[in-house]
Amino acid sequence: MTNPYQQPSADLRPDHAPQGVLTVNSPRARDIGAGWRWFTDAWRVFKSAWGTILLTLLVAWLLSMAVQFIPLLGLLLPVLLAPFLSAGLVSVLYKADEQRHPSVGDLFAPFSTHFTPLLALGGLYLLMIIAVMVAAGLLGMVMLGGTFGLLMNPETMGQLDSVNWQPMILWALIVVALFIPVIAAYWFAPALVLLGGQRPVEALQASLSGCLKNILPMLWYTIITIVLLALAMIPFGLGLLVVLPVLAVTYYSSFRDIYTDTL
């Protein structure tokens, strides 16, 4: 029987906000030790549903490889698909973390729940990549002159033995520097769209801010990653079967640590 004196309730959250997920806050700066903590937490999450996580990563990898063979669109679709696969992986890992019995099908949930914002995010990411590539090309023509043409043509790369490599190395370092903020802006954006209900531009800004506030732990995280990958290669590369999946899960753990109060 309904209580006639009960106060009516309504869900006042905006339509784009996800239901029943983490409370996502503004990014916070973490201590340098967070770089290792992301690995230990990722191992905890991985152990809770290792079979499903492994199968999910395999399916995501196969999809990302398959779209590259589509004529004409093979260069564009992987970039547009990336936000969906990242968000799908986060969906699986969040359910594993909450002991909610994740399945491989959760990888495809964002296609129906967040299709428009994730597609827009992929489009923005693609535009940023194109902008950096155009800038890199123009800069290469200015800095390297005719050498840049030799570098871009596989048939003439053999003639590079006699050229001065210093300008080429400087140009390559500048291109890497241009790509870093693009990658940082995109890095956490799919998770912010999915779990934070943020719009694409808002998510890109929050992701860039989160990375800038955590440069030291991310550097420590990178060093640990290199060491673990090197160690995993020693026993005929068999260690990669564990290290690579756990490395993928650190994406979720680092997101939780930076944007929520749950780690």
Q: Count CA atoms closer than 13 A to 225's CA, side-chain side.
A: 17
Residue 248 CB neighbours (<10 A): 20
The per-residue pLDDT for 12 is 32
The per-residue pLDDT for 192 is 96
Q: Is residue 214 part of a domain?
A: yes
Tell whether the model's pLDDT for residue 18 goes beyond 50: no
User: With bands split at pLDDT 50, 70 and 90, how would you rate the model's confidence at 242?
Assistant: very high
Q: What percent of the chain has pLDDT over 70?
A: 83
Q: Which domain holds residue 225?
A: 34-64+75-98+108-126+183-259
Gap between the Cα atoms of 91 and 101, Å rounded? 11
The per-residue pLDDT for 72 is 77
Give Cβ neighbours of residue 90 (< 8 Å, ≥ 6 apart).
190, 191, 194, 195, 251, 252, 255
Tell whether the model's pLDDT for residue 16 goes beyond 80: no
**Any idea which residue has 């992301």 for tokens?**
38
Q: Is residue 187 part of a domain?
A: yes
Q: Is residue 24 part of a domain?
A: no
DSSP state of 18: P
Q: Is residue 248 part of a domain?
A: yes
User: What digits encode the pLDDT tens for the residues 188-234?
Assistant: 999 999 999 999 999 999 999 999 999 999 999 999 999 999 999 98
Claim: this prediction has a pTM higher than 0.95: no
Tell whether the model's pLDDT for residue 56 goes beyond 70: yes
Q: Is residue 19 part of a domain?
A: no
Q: Is residue 6 part of a domain?
A: no
Gap between the Cα atoms of 234 and 222, Å rounded? 19
Q: Is residue 143 part of a domain?
A: no
Residue 259 three-state SS: helix
Average pLDDT over residues 58-71: 91
Gap between the Cα atoms of 193 and 27, Å rounded? 14
Gap between the Cα atoms of 155 and 123, Å rounded? 33
**Helices 77-97 and 240-259 sit at what angle, rounded to 10 degrees?**
80
Residue 161 three-state SS: helix
Work out how many domains the chain is built from and give that number.
Answer: 1
Contact 129, 201 (CB under 8 A): no
Tell whether the model's pLDDT for residue 30 goes beyond 50: yes
- Nearest-5° angle of CA 197, CA 103, CA 53? 90
Residue 3 three-state SS: coil
Q: Is residue 229 part of a domain?
A: yes
20: left (phi over 0), alpha (psi -120 to 50) or beta: left
